[in-house]
């Protein structure tokens, strides 16, 4: 079969569109494949572009800096000053992420796809990717079905997998030591959200803040996850919730309930005393949807011979916030750039593609294993401990540092001087100190990410060992 393209990018979401832009700008002949029709570019599932739509300004600036694309109306729906996480009793709140935007996802997706074709990529719609073509332990193309449901094979030097969390490419790679094919259900949040019009019954920025995105930590309302209320323009909001399955099961058992994700979202909206007279805003068919998001570190390697992965296909969302738009942007651009370089060098081998691992790690990935540790620790706390911890364990500045994946070494140590009451609170504090030390260890380990595939196995063994220890120490314990 003839190789018509240098690079196949599978999936025209955020990661895929940007990978196509960067690879095409790098001189590669690129085809971007997606199952959606043109007017539904980047739609994740039949449920729509399911997302909280919040992104930090820093990530949008990264795109402008790297590929010169600027953003404004309509894809940036509302500017927000930041994101606040509130304690279950609503007495304490910590800011993180800094200023950012609530996006109009369908509009953003269309803009990115249009920019990819303007950059020289060919965009093929209504194409269902079914798996990779493997020859001699190397990915050499993909197979799938075109818009007439005909079986089609396409070959290329490199395949970039940007198919999202349920990727058919990652899952069908041959067994290998680099890219993990499966993700544990413990590391997945089941999530859902509505975009609604509503009447604001009163002013209370603990429940709704027109200038900030709010996250409600609450192990009863959102076991193992959190609820969110993100403002949008013109009396609309994006309201949703994520849960971790084990935590939900334990919470239901403790309460003698059989609540599902769908029920919990409705309950969360009812719990909020400010949201009244809601109506689903179904513009672009994007009013109500459910999907999964991973909350672990990204795949230990993002490359395999002839293959690179970017965005949700590689488990890139932030393990604490589940924010995946930022890393999908960063990864998409770097993957596309490296693919362009590989085509020019006529080398799609593991050694050449490895620089993508290194660059992603430098630009984003080195903090995520530490954040995964913190997420696992958080899931082991009940509401009382979260309330107490947010009041006594760490300051707002320390929480901000942790959310950025930095370790607030000195100041955290100073809280040892605080007098903590109650044995479970003291234990939870000791566990926090343990977690922060683990974060420190893993951050240091990620700074030594192998510069080539040599040494990867030994490096990965350390990560696996640390994560196993953490998961054994901290079990979900909601309510
Ligand atoms: C409920 C929810 C709320 C979230 N909230 C936020 C938030 O507020 N902020 C944030 O930063 N992140 C959030 N995320 C995560 C964020 O939405 C994702 O990280 C982001 O969309 C990842 O982009 P992507 O390009 O990797 O994948 P996707 O957006 O999933 O794009 C994949 C593309 O590939 C296509 N595709 C998939 N399979 C095939 C196939 N077999 N053949 C052809 N095409 C295919 C899809 O149709 C889609 O166009 C949230 C996620 C969920 C589920």
DSSP line for 299-358: PS--EETTEEE-GGGGT-S-TTT---HHHHHHHHHHHHHHHHHHHHHT--SHHHHHHHHH
Choose one of 336, 364, 392: the last residue of a domain: 364
* CA 43 / ligand 1 centre spacing (Å): 8
Q: Are residues 282 and 189 in the same domain?
A: yes
Q: Is the minimum distance from the CB of 319 to ligand 1 under 6 angstroms?
A: no
* CA 44 / ligand 1 centre spacing (Å): 5
Choose one of 324, 345, 364: the last residue of a domain: 364
More confident residue, 98 or 33: 33
Smallest CA separation from ligand 1 atom 19, residue: 324
Q: Are residues 10 and 135 in the same domain?
A: yes
Which tokens hold the place of 8?
């196949």
Q: Is the minimum distance from the CB of 241 to ligand 1 under 6 angstroms?
A: no
Q: Are residues 372 and 397 in the same domain?
A: yes
* CA 151 / ligand 1 centre spacing (Å): 25
φ, ψ (nearest 5 deg) of residue 237:
-150, 160
User: Is 96 within a domain?
Assistant: no
Q: Are residues 12 and 69 in the same domain?
A: yes
Residues β-bridged to residue 194: 239, 288
Phi-psi region of 140 (alpha: psi -120 to 50; beta: other; left: phi over 0): alpha
Residue 413 has pLDDT above 70, yes or no: no
- Predicted pLDDT of residue 36: 97
Q: Is the minimum distance from the CB of 40 to ligand 1 under 6 angstroms?
A: no
* CA 416 / ligand 1 centre spacing (Å): 41
Q: What is the mean pLDDT of residues 145-160?
A: 97
pLDDT band for position 418 (50/70/90)?
low
- Predicted pLDDT of residue 408: 67
Q: Are residues 460 and 391 in the same domain?
A: yes
Q: Are residues 127 and 18 in the same domain?
A: yes
CB 77 within 8 A of CB 103: yes
Q: What is the mean pLDDT of residues 199-218?
A: 98
Q: Is the minimum distance from the CB of 193 to ligand 1 under 6 angstroms?
A: yes
pLDDT tens across 276-299, in order?
999 999 999 999 999 999 999 999
Q: Are residues 376 and 456 in the same domain?
A: yes
* CA 181 / ligand 1 centre spacing (Å): 18
Q: Is the minimum distance from the CB of 189 to ligand 1 under 6 angstroms?
A: no
pLDDT tens across 344-380, in order?
999 999 999 999 999 999 999 999 999 999 999 999 9
pTM: 0.97
Smallest CA separation from ligand 1 atom 17, residue: 51
Q: How many domains does the chain have?
A: 3
Q: Are residues 149 and 197 in the same domain?
A: no
User: Is 177 within a domain?
Assistant: yes
Residues β-bridged to residue 292: 190
Q: Are residues 305 and 160 in the same domain?
A: yes
Structural domain boundaries enclosing 239: 185-293
Q: Are residues 452 and 427 in the same domain?
A: yes
User: Is 90 within a domain?
Assistant: no
More confident residue, 205 or 96: 205
User: Is 86 within a domain?
Assistant: no
User: Is 209 within a domain?
Assistant: yes
CB 123 within 8 A of CB 12: yes
What is the percentage of the chain residues whose pLDDT exceeds 70? 97
* CA 103 / ligand 1 centre spacing (Å): 14
Q: The domain spanning residue 316 has which CATH number?
A: 3.50.50.60
More confident residue, 391 or 467: 467
Q: The domain spanning residue 219 has which CATH number?
A: 3.30.9.10
How much is the mean pLDDT over the chain?
Answer: 95
Choose one of 293, 322, 338: the last residue of a domain: 293
User: Is 93 within a domain?
Assistant: no
Q: Are residues 329 and 348 in the same domain?
A: yes
User: Is 88 within a domain?
Assistant: no
- CA 58 to CA 376: how far, in whole Å? 26
Q: Are residues 119 and 68 in the same domain?
A: yes
- Predicted pLDDT of residue 404: 82
């Amino acid at each position: 079969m003839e190789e018509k393209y240098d690079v196949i990018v599978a999936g025209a979401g955020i990661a895929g569109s940007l990978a196509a832009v960067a690879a095409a700008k790098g001189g590669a002949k690129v085809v971007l494949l997606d199952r959606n029709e043109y007017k539904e570019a980047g739609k994740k599932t039949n449920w729509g572009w399911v997302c909280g739509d919040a992104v930090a300004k820093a990530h949008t600036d990264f795109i402008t800096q790297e590929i010169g694309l600027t953003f404004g109306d309509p894809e940036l729906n509302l500017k927000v000053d930041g994101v606040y996480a509130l304690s279950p009793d609503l007495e304490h709140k910590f800011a993180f992420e800094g200023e950012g935007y609530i996006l109009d996802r369908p509009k953003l997706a269309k803009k990115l796809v249009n920019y990819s074709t303007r950059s020289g990529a060919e965009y093929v719609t209504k194409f269902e990717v079914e798996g990779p073509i493997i020859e001699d332990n190397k990915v050499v193309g993909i197979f799938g079905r075109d818009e007439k449901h005909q079986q089609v094979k396409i070959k290329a030097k490199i395949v970039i997998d940007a198919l999202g969390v349920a990727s058919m490419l990652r899952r069908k790679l041959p067994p290998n030591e680099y890219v993990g094919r499966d993700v544990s259900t413990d590391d997945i949040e089941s999530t859902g959200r509505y975009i609604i019009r509503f009447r604001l019954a009163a002013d209370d920025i603990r429940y709704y803040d027109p200038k900030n995105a709010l996250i409600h930590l609450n192990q009863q309302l959102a076991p193992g996850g959190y609820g969110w209320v993100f403002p949008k323009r013109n009396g609309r909001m994006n309201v949703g919730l994520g849960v971790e399955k084990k935590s939900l099961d334990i919470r239901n058992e403790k309460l003698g309930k059989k609540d599902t994700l769908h029920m919990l979202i409705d309950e969360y909206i009812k719990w909020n005393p400010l949201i009244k007279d809601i109506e689903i805003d179904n513009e672009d068919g994007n009013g109500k949807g459910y999907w999964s998001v991973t909350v672990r570190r990204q795949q230990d390697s993002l490359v395999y011979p002839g293959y690179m992965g970017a965005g949700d296909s590689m488990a890139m969302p932030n393990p604490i916030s589940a924010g995946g738009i930022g890393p999908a942007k960063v990864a998409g651009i770097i993957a596309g750039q490296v693919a362009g370089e590989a085509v020019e060098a006529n080398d799609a081998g593991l050694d050449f593609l490895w620089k993508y691992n290194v660059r992603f790690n430098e630009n984003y990935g080195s903090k995520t294993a530490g954040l995964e540790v913190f997420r696992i620790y958080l899931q082991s706390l009940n509401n009382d401990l979260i309330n107490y911890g947010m009041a006594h364990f760490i300051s707002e500045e320390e929480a901000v540092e942790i959310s950025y994946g930095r370790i607030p070494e000195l100041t955290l140590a100073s809280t040892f001087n605080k007098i903590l009451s109650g044995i479970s609170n003291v234990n939870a504090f000791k566990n926090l100190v343990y977690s922060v030390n683990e974060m420190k260890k893993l951050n240091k380990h990620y700074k030594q990410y192998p510069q080539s595939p040599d040494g990867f196995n030994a490096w990965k063994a350390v990560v696996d060992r640390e994560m196993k220890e953490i998961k054994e120490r901290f079990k979900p314990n909601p309510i």
